[in-house]
Amino acid sequence: MRYSFLLFVLLPVLGWTQENSKFELGLQLDNDSFASAYNDFYYTNGIFVFANYVSKKSTAGQKIIHGLKIGQQIYNPRNMKSPFPEDHNRPYAGYLFAEYNTSKMFQSNSVLGMSFRLGIVGPDSKAEDFQRWMHNAFGFGHIIGWEQQIHNLVAVQVGLNYSKPIFATDKMDLHFNGQAEAGTAFSSAAIGTLCRISLSKSVTPMQQSSFYNGLGTAKKEFYFYILPKLNLQFYDATIQGSLFNHDSPVTFNLNPLRFKGETGLKFKYSHYNLSCAFNYITEEIKNNSATGYYYGSLIGSYAF
């Protein structure tokens, strides 16, 4: 028993002797209260558990990462104290999914990724149950109106992302960033630019960096980043309901053109990866009192 305990304590230390990590386990938490104590509406909470691993088919010129993720996202109107649909400026909605993703990180520092998701939007996502438990556990107050939420629909999603370096100096770099997704829950396209500014030594090349996952070969990183994007949203089931029926009690028309901004800090030391981010999104709903909103993200992972 004593030897088992000693092995458990020393396992992370022993892992430091490995040249490069092959696996990563992590947790991401999104919440609007991370950005403001008074901000509790629209995209209000997200929780994601993820695992990544390096493919055996990786080469020096092309690093291949496979990943699995399970997540839940929760959406609310601004007024969470009214049972009446006319008082809701965004539908209550929950989204639960499982994802497989893969990415190729090239020696040129370009990145190409693809993802596949299967999930559900609606009561079966258990978003209402989780939010009621969370509000009761932390004293956030009683929520009224979930009976008006978006009804169940199956979510099948395919996503693509691409990043290409534009220029780099010793302390910073700039990358083109493009994303697209299509499916029965969300369809959109976005383009933007990613800028990283090192706060320690020189900025790490993207193939070796922890930006997209914690399996980069760099042992230490600490940098600030900013990623503004122009987003064209074609469909969003958490706002419009199902593509195939109109039985959800509260739905709205989309404001298709949005600005999305993300900025934050990323830190890596040995096998540990930490990041925090501030996210802002402009108005999502057309001709409505719903405004732009913001939320914070915290991510932690261990690579071994």
Whole-number Å distance between alpha carbons of 296 and 299: 10
Does residue 1 lie in a domain region? no
pLDDT at 40 over 80: no
Q: What is the pLDDT of residues 254-302, one digit of tens each?
A: 999 999 999 999 999 999 999 999 999 999 998 788 899 999 999 999 9
Does residue 11 lie in a domain region? no
Does residue 112 lie in a domain region? yes
pLDDT at 10 over 70: no
What average pLDDT does the segment 214-231 reach? 95
Does residue 267 lie in a domain region? yes
Does residue 9 lie in a domain region? no
Does residue 4 lie in a domain region? no
**Which tokens sit at 180?**
């697209």
pLDDT at 19: 65
Q: What proportion of the chain, given as a percentage, has pLDDT over 70?
A: 94
Beta strands in the chain (DSSP E): 23-31, 42-54, 62-76, 93-106, 111-121, 153-168, 172-183, 186-198, 220-236, 257-269, 272-281, 293-303
Q: What is the pLDDT of residues 112-138, one digit of tens each?
A: 999 999 999 999 999 999 999 988 888
Q: pTM of this prediction?
A: 0.90
pLDDT at 303 over 50: yes
Domain span at residue 240 reads 23-303
pLDDT at 3: 39
Total structural domains within the chain: 1
Does residue 6 lie in a domain region? no
**Which tokens sit at 90?**
């965004």
Residues of 248-280 as b/e, b for ≥16 C-beta within 10 angstroms?
Answer: bebbbebbeebebbbebebbbeebebbbebbbe
What average pLDDT does the segment 88-110 reach? 97
Nearest to 153 by CA among 248, 235, 46, 70: 248
pLDDT at 245 over 80: yes
**Would strands 111-121 and 93-106 be described as parallel, antiparallel, or unpaired?**
antiparallel
Does residue 59 lie in a domain region? yes
CATH number at residue 154: 2.40.128.140
